[in-house]
Structure 1
């Protein structure tokens, strides 16, 4: 089986959009490569006294529209190519929703599930110190991602602030409210998925009330999306986590499943449903499929068996270019990751703005502003796709790339 390479996929998606836009070779040369790739190797003292050398990355893809923005993930599977791909997708994601950021991403090769809280804190503080030469409130603003959370962001913010000699809350987003976090940030990614799915459903004449929803991934984005779609009147027919999947055609209560997972560490053995494989949740009968786990799960090997009318990508890069063609030809509407899950970075932008001005908005205003941005972005992408008779991913990439190319053209090449 060929090894999946997310960076090659990101480049393939870029070239497809660049071809349709008629982008010059000079502009492609600038936009296809990251601006900066930082690799750091640093020692961390474990609780038993041993020293372990850890490798981490911070990649800035493009900063022509503003400071770099992107999450930090902790995983044994992190690779430089993965981080490069995610940084590129962040550039397009910020551009497609029209917020003034460029794209970045970070990753640390570690297994946080086998580390204590004190080991994670030492790792985080040392990693922050190592990448402090490129991050900052006006240069590159990290955020939570896979296996990182508000506590990790608090350690990062504190470490950076200690080096600066004063508090710098705007250096990261996704922080706890007590140190400059934003209302609505925890639910933001899933809320954006709901808003764009609602817009997509209106376009194809699908009522979300009673619509069957299947979710692959029951972490932060997936579990919150399950709750939000359930509250919208949808029927949650399938969920999965890394341990397995669960199917019930009569519907699942996501709150009950979440409680079970917290107690037992899995959703797969929840008694009110049929146990299925992790990949099987992609193929169950449903109206809306939400891949909310990892990259490359929908491929040319399984796309034909997907029954959903709408695929809303809460995860980054879950659908390969070959699968996109199959889904488009069978009439399945795929809301691409750079649009569907852009709620997270949008509310991160709100948090950053609030930190810089030391003036905070309430949750109602956050949700109102987010809905306006997501709806405007969806309509712009859908119009672009309609104009070029293509799928939403190509439409989103074309819209985003043209915006970044315009900023690059206007700024010119230094020196």
Structure 2
């Protein structure tokens, strides 16, 4: 495996020097390539993005000053269909992060047998420091810049960190104005009033919880007697915590970027959501103890859901994790070193490309509905989502047992094999 990985001159830096999400994504791919016995040429093709675009985004601020931001869109692979992936607004966005996220989207879509390839976009911006009007101007200019490479049959963006259904509405409108007619299928995760799907807003959270409950059962843990901690109380973590509580799991701790709260008897998640809506943070929630962000990761709970950002479980803290099951709500929250440590400690880690795939599944449902102009009920969406998630979970368990792999290795091997098969069937052009 090392010889194959070292033979690739990916993005200039030697393998020993690459760190961060892209290094983790490449390491996971290399492990799958070794297990499948693929040749270096196919490895290089699967490791390299098919298309990348970096754009400058000039913004006139509300005070009249001009600022230039940087945006990216990476299309990792489209052997199995049009590219699909979110758009994030974050001050930490850089090209390597977007490359990693696009690759993970390829494997996620393949693992769930959704007919997409993987893509991702991002703008280096802290959306909290900009007005709604400024964010609209940023979104519309970014959309205009990447217009040639997106479309309902090319690449379909969706919300991610720092973006929401309003962002998607602006993107859809900008694309539609350029086309001369309304094109609802160019994005997913848009408002229901503009052709969005019922159930899309909470789909990622719902998928995380379907898998979390199945993983607890797999480990012989009853949900009614289980405890959980959720890192991240945003669009994924907040609803995941609520759905876990409704399923009978006691959520004893949650955190956000400002801090965390803990209550051994279980937190009132609905009251906590109201508190966050009023104050902007979980910090200071009544009838709870303050908790540091790192402290939440090492609490003595049955289930840990890292649902914030990538790289939060690392070699520095993984030795101290006491959860029996880790279900990745965020993309890439566990580094390769932490993954090894947790596996050796007997912790069941359910990888992100399965655990948080609910969003892309319902995005696919939304895309289908938009293209057919036929809308499903909320109950239909929820039932189809649960079926797809649990089918993928059961297949993953079978592959892991048959090939003697961890769940992450089994997931990546399954996904990579499907993408490689599609590529080989299509052939190399010219």
Range class of TM-score, shorter chain: over 0.9
- Measured in 1, the distance between the counterparts of 2:193 and 2:308 equals 29
- RMSD value over aligned CA atoms? 1.0
Instruction: Indicate conservation of the 8 Å contact 1:288/1:311, yes or no.
Output: yes
- Measured in 1, the distance between the counterparts of 2:214 and 2:39 equals 34
Of 400, 405, 408, which aligns to 1:393? Answer: 408
Question: Paired residue for 1:364?
Answer: 379
**CA deviation map 1:367-402 (0-9, x unaligned):** 111111101111111111111222100010000000
**CA deviation map 1:257-281 (0-9, x unaligned):** 1111121222122121111111111
**CA deviation map 1:179-203 (0-9, x unaligned):** 1000100110011011111222222
Q: Report the count of equivalent residues.
A: 414
Question: Paired residue for 2:67?
Answer: 52
Question: Paired residue for 2:114?
Answer: 99
- Measured in 1, the distance between the counterparts of 2:373 and 2:224 equals 40
TM-score, scaled to structure 2: 0.95
- Measured in 1, the distance between the counterparts of 2:113 and 2:215 equals 19
Query: Which segment drifts farther, 128-137 or 297-306?
Result: 297-306
1:134 counterpart = 2:119: no
1:324 counterpart = 2:339: yes
1:151-170 alignment to 2 at 5 Å?
151-170=166-185
1:298 counterpart = 2:313: yes
Of 203, 217, 220, which aligns to 1:202? Answer: 217
Instruction: Indicate conservation of the 8 Å contact 1:217/1:240, yes or no.
Output: yes
Of 193, 196, 207, which aligns to 1:192? Answer: 207
**CA deviation map 1:139-166 (0-9, x unaligned):** 0000000010000000000000000000
- Measured in 2, the distance between the counterparts of 1:49 and 1:268 equals 35
- Measured in 1, the distance between the counterparts of 2:422 and 2:19 equals 32
Question: Paired residue for 1:260?
Answer: 275
- Measured in 2, the distance between the counterparts of 1:320 and 1:389 equals 21
Deviation at residue 4 of structure 1 after TM alignment: 4.8
Deviation at residue 93 of structure 1 after TM alignment: 0.3
Of 16, 23, 31, which aligns to 2:38? Answer: 23
- Measured in 2, the distance between the counterparts of 1:46 and 1:317 equals 33
- Measured in 2, the distance between the counterparts of 1:211 and 1:65 equals 39
Question: Paired residue for 1:212?
Answer: 227
1:178 counterpart = 2:186: no
Question: Paired residue for 2:304?
Answer: 289
Of 269, 272, 275, which aligns to 2:287? Answer: 272
Partner SS state of residue 236, structure 2: helix
Deviation at residue 210 of structure 1 after TM alignment: 3.0
1:347 counterpart = 2:351: no
- Measured in 1, the distance between the counterparts of 2:310 and 2:19 equals 9
Partner SS state of residue 209, structure 1: helix
- Measured in 2, the distance between the counterparts of 1:276 and 1:10 equals 31
- Measured in 1, the distance between the counterparts of 2:157 and 2:27 equals 26
Partner SS state of residue 196, structure 1: helix
Query: Which segment drifts farther, 304-313 or 399-408?
Result: 304-313
Instruction: Indicate conservation of the 8 Å contact 1:4/1:296, yes or no.
Output: no
Partner SS state of residue 73, structure 1: strand
Partner SS state of residue 92, structure 2: coil
Partner SS state of residue 86, structure 2: strand
Partner SS state of residue 82, structure 1: helix
Any gaps of 5 or more consecutive residues in structure 1?
none
Of 217, 242, 247, which aligns to 2:262? Answer: 247
Question: Paired residue for 1:403?
Answer: 418
Question: Paired residue for 1:32?
Answer: 47
